[in-house]
Structure 1
Amino acid sequence: MKHKFHLLIFLLGMFIVPQPFHAQVDFNQKPMDDLGDVEDQFQEHFFEALKQQGIENYQRAVDELLKCKKLDDKAVVYFELGKNYIKLKNFGAAEDALKRAVAKEPNNEWYLDELYEVYKQQGDTKKAIKIVKQLVKFHRDYQQDLASLYIKSKDYKTALKLLDDLDKAYGINADRDYLRNQIYNITGRDEDRIDNLVERLNQNPENETNYLSLIYRYSETGEEEKAFQTAQKLLEVQPESRLVHLALYKFYLERNQTEKAIASMKTVLSAPEINAEAKTKVLNDFINFVAKHPQYEKDLIEITALIDDDKSFQTLVGLAQYYLKLKDKEKALMYFEESLKLEPNNFMVIKDVLLLQIDLNQEEKAIIQSEQALDLFPAQPIFYLINGVAHNRLKQAKKAIKSLEAGLDYIIDDPKMEADFYTQLSIAFKLDNNNSKSETFAKKAAALISQN
């Protein structure tokens, strides 16, 4: 991690803090050297370097700092050189400069941290570990960086030992758990992962998170019975837990304990602390279950009513598709239209809405919506076709012809859709009293249909 501080006050202090006088100055005496001029030149070049660095002119900053170095070999000059070389991606020069700065001031955290940055960007894990071990004495947070570096260097045993020590000293931490799981995933040590979670649970048997983590890992490794037992134990310890039902409903479904499964799903779908994504998964699982066991449709309707008003897009689409399977087109359309409010540019949902509007004889709505769809997708022939069908039904022949003829240009290798266009054009020209063209398009449609 980076621990950066603003250096301006520090740097100003280096140059303008007055030094105590130990002797009377004779202003009439001629100076014995040019130290005053040197210091003035140094400050001038140094602050010009900071200015150039501030406006991201890093090479100019380096040039000014090299002038400073010739005047006074200060550690801070090498530090600033290192920072600018990093920006210029000249990592070799950056390392050399920062090592000089550290050599002059071995206990300066800023210098060490910048050198650590060089090694990180170069991917030099071995050197980075050496620097971070020095930085740990300034901030304990560097210990987590150290664990991450051990993982990169494939020293998993040392990394786990360090993570264990940190957990004991400071408690469980999500970032450290991420690193720990990285090790388990890389090494395939699932038993060690589970042992660690069991130990945590034994040490803190009231912690809901410990149970949930163990349930998840048991399920992931195929130990379903242990996962189910752990979920049951959590329910005993915390009867009010709602999160446990995210696991329980699946176990109940697998055991054909339908009433308990439904109760768990209702708990999940009515729980404000459970996010929309999780609720969507539960609802989709229940939709699939009801599709195979339609006698529980009433429960699905009840569960749907439990979902918060801010249903997710996936939830609404899932409900729409379910009702579509049941051939309840009105409800399917209602949910598709609701989902479209959340993702108004979703091509597939727009298409489903328009097709249902045509099926349900909502021609005026279909005309408006298809024209809006064509603004978004001007090269999609399906929207021209739907627009033409709707105009034909309303006896608006000329508008139908205009839309259908425009859409023909966008059909590519789709004989069925092309036949549908010809059929609708035949209807439109007949409405327009042009029987000759009507018959021509009817023959074209029949020819395509016979070929396929």
Structure 2
Amino acid sequence: MKQKIYILIFIVGTFLLPQMNYAQVDFNKKPDDDLGVVEDAFQEQFYEALKQRGIENYDRSVTALLKCIELDNSVPVLYFELGKNYNQLKNFGAAEEAFKKAISKAPENEWFLDALYGFYIEQNDFDKAIKTVKELVKYHPDYKEDLAGLYLKTHEYDEALKLLDALDAEFGISVARDVMRNQIYAATGRKKDQIKNLESRVEDNPDKESNYLQLIYRYSENNEKEKAFETAQELLKVNPHSQVVHLALYKFYLDDDNAEKAIESMKIVVRSSEIKPEAKLKVLTDFVQFVSNNPQYEPDLVEATTLVSDSNNSKTLIELGQYYLSKNNKSKALGYFETALKIDSENFNVLRNVLLLYIDLQKFDVAEKRSNEVLQKYPAQPLFYLINGVALNQLNQPEKAIEILETGVDFVIDDTKMEIDFYKQLSLAYSAINNTAKAKTFSDKAIQLETEN
């Protein structure tokens, strides 16, 4: 629907004054008889109506307009303004009648028709909206797209498709119309029609990359993998430098166990400045999975990760960290997690991984410092107390370790393994200050829990 902004001054200039000519009313004429009195009263009431509408006193605006109509019922804009006020007052029946009255008095006025169209859309009365927008099409072809959208809402799919085809032929393909077209295909299950339409596009515009890509996607969705692969190959012939096509090709090559070709396509995707980070992440995830099953290609993964390591995509970096963690390369995993944390400092899981890796890699100084900082943000997370306590024990600061561990253990809920770790660290700390009784107490608690579980 076309949105119109009705500025009060514009209304007066566009609607009121020309229509006043029909009624032979001249606001500049000095009243010298009874007709002048009528003109003054009309003018006064009309401006009162505009003023009251401007301050959202719609009922008073209606009263003033009705007085205008009593003085002269031939002015279309009075009914137009009346309709808008009734609509605001939720008197929808009166609003519709007022808009229709305005149109009956000025059937060629596009603004009045558009207001009635907008009213029907607000009321979800799509059948009446269709009748109205068909009138508006005479003024602007853009309304044809509105009409197609209404046919979609009323499930008149064939009519909608005819109109979309005509619009595509006249104006070219548009994203908005394709969205409608795909909704119709999805609602009707006409996958073959959808593919046929895309095939025609490729045939009619063989140099347009997006047509091939959409067709590849639809073939793949319809489990026509051979046709999808053939279309991708055709695109490469037309545009040998296409980068986006490799988003499809790498998958085909992987399915065909063509590792060399798959890796080549993956590297093109990772290097591409045209491909969105989210798509690169998907490819990289598949790359990681592939190398997990085919470790002889790890150098290629290393090369690919070098290409994305400077990216601002934390998801990509986290994926790489997880991969190296699965390969027990903790040092490299830590590097990727730390970089990801610089981009997304609030990522709890990455934060946890980083702190645990500090402990595993015996970086106790930084583990103690960072876990202490993190506890300011997450004072109820027992894991961070445990990490801090472990680091303090390793740094030979048992008194501080005892304090932090005894605070943190109270936050442990339904996690026996973590509770055991707390007791073992407390036993270690008390042993360090020669409090053998306390050390034994916590050691016994740990042993008891291990025995029970």
TM-score tier, shorter chain, comes to: over 0.9
Partner of 2:59: 62
Given the two structures, how large is their TM-score scaled by the length of structure 2? Answer: 0.92
Matches of 2:109 and 2:408, distance apart in 1: 72
**Aligned pairs for 1:34-113 within 5 A:** 34-52=37-55, 57=56, 60-72=57-69, 73=73, 74-113=75-114
Matches of 1:86 and 1:438, distance apart in 2: 79
Matches of 1:139 and 1:211, distance apart in 2: 32
Q: Deviations over 1:81-109 (max 9, x none)?
A: 33344445443343233222222222222
Report if aligned partners of 1:82, 1:94 keep a CA contact under 8 Å in 2: yes
Output the amino acid matched with 2:391. A
Q: Percent identity?
A: 51
Report if aligned partners of 1:65, 1:77 keep a CA contact under 8 Å in 2: no
Report if aligned partners of 2:126, 2:154 keep a CA contact under 8 Å in 1: yes
Matches of 1:329 and 1:276, distance apart in 2: 25
Partner of 2:399: 398
Q: Deviations over 1:338-383 (max 9, x none)?
A: 1111211111111111111110111222223223322332222111
Matches of 2:400 and 2:85, distance apart in 1: 67
For structure 1, which segment, 7-16 or 62-71, has the greater mean C-alpha deviation from structure 2 after superposition? Answer: 7-16
Q: Deviations over 1:23-80 (max 9, x none)?
A: xx998x665663144124313412322421xxxx3xx123223222222344323323
Matches of 1:201 and 1:26, distance apart in 2: 71
Q: Deviations over 1:160-218 (max 9, x none)?
A: 00000001111111111111111100000000000001111111111111111111100
Partner of 2:442: 441
Partner of 1:239: 240
Partner of 2:159: 158
Aligned in 2, Cα 1:77/1:403: closer, same or farther, shift over 3 Å? Answer: farther
Partner of 1:415: 416
Aligned in 2, Cα 1:26/1:288: closer, same or farther, shift over 3 Å? Answer: closer
Kindly tell me the number of residue pairs found equivalent between the two proteins. Answer: 443
Output the amino acid matched with 2:440. E
Aligned in 2, Cα 1:83/1:375: closer, same or farther, shift over 3 Å? Answer: farther
Matches of 2:408 and 2:298, distance apart in 1: 41
For structure 1, which segment, 93-102 or 110-119, has the greater mean C-alpha deviation from structure 2 after superposition? Answer: 93-102
Matches of 2:412 and 2:403, distance apart in 1: 16
Output the amino acid matched with 1:51. G
Partner of 1:208: 209
Matches of 2:220 and 2:330, distance apart in 1: 38
Q: CA deviation at 1:118?
A: 1.9
Report if aligned partners of 2:321, 2:334 keep a CA contact under 8 Å in 1: yes
Matches of 1:254 and 1:141, distance apart in 2: 45
Partner of 2:4: 4
Q: CA deviation at 1:278?
A: 0.8
For structure 1, which segment, 182-191 or 426-435, has the greater mean C-alpha deviation from structure 2 after superposition? Answer: 426-435
**Aligned pairs for 1:168-207 within 5 A:** 168-207=169-208
SS at match of 1:129: helix
Q: Deviations over 1:306-361 (max 9, x none)?
A: 22722411110110011001100011011011111121111111111111111011
Output the amino acid matched with 2:420. A
Q: CA deviation at 1:397?
A: 1.9
Matches of 2:59 and 2:2, distance apart in 1: 23
Matches of 1:32 and 1:211, distance apart in 2: 72
Output the amino acid matched with 2:315. Q
Partner of 2:262: 261
Report if aligned partners of 1:317, 1:336 keep a CA contact under 8 Å in 2: yes
Report if aligned partners of 2:426, 2:442 keep a CA contact under 8 Å in 1: yes
Q: CA deviation at 1:16?
A: 7.1
Report if aligned partners of 2:45, 2:67 keep a CA contact under 8 Å in 1: no
Given the two structures, how large is their TM-score scaled by the length of structure 1? Answer: 0.92
Report if aligned partners of 2:30, 2:36 keep a CA contact under 8 Å in 1: no
SS at match of 1:409: helix
Partner of 1:142: 143
For structure 1, which segment, 64-73 or 140-149, has the greater mean C-alpha deviation from structure 2 after superposition? Answer: 64-73
Matches of 1:371 and 1:311, distance apart in 2: 27
Matches of 1:390 and 1:120, distance apart in 2: 66
Partner of 2:299: 298
Output the amino acid matched with 1:420. D
Matches of 2:65 and 2:239, distance apart in 1: 68
Matches of 2:92 and 2:6, distance apart in 1: 23
Output the amino acid matched with 1:259. E
What residue ranges of structure 1 are gaps of 5+ in the alignment? Answer: none
Aligned in 2, Cα 1:393/1:223: closer, same or farther, shift over 3 Å? Answer: same
Report if aligned partners of 1:45, 1:65 keep a CA contact under 8 Å in 2: no
Aligned in 2, Cα 1:266/1:32: closer, same or farther, shift over 3 Å? Answer: closer
Q: CA deviation at 1:241?
A: 0.9
Report if aligned partners of 1:215, 1:231 keep a CA contact under 8 Å in 2: yes
Matches of 1:119 and 1:31, distance apart in 2: 42
Q: Does 1:319 align with 2:316?
A: no
**Aligned pairs for 1:364-403 within 5 A:** 364-403=365-404
For structure 1, which segment, 250-259 or 300-309, has the greater mean C-alpha deviation from structure 2 after superposition? Answer: 300-309
Matches of 2:39 and 2:148, distance apart in 1: 49
Report if aligned partners of 2:312, 2:343 keep a CA contact under 8 Å in 1: no
Matches of 1:26 and 1:180, distance apart in 2: 61
Aligned Cα RMSD in Å?
2.3
**Aligned pairs for 1:335-346 within 5 A:** 335-346=336-347
Q: CA deviation at 1:134?
A: 1.0
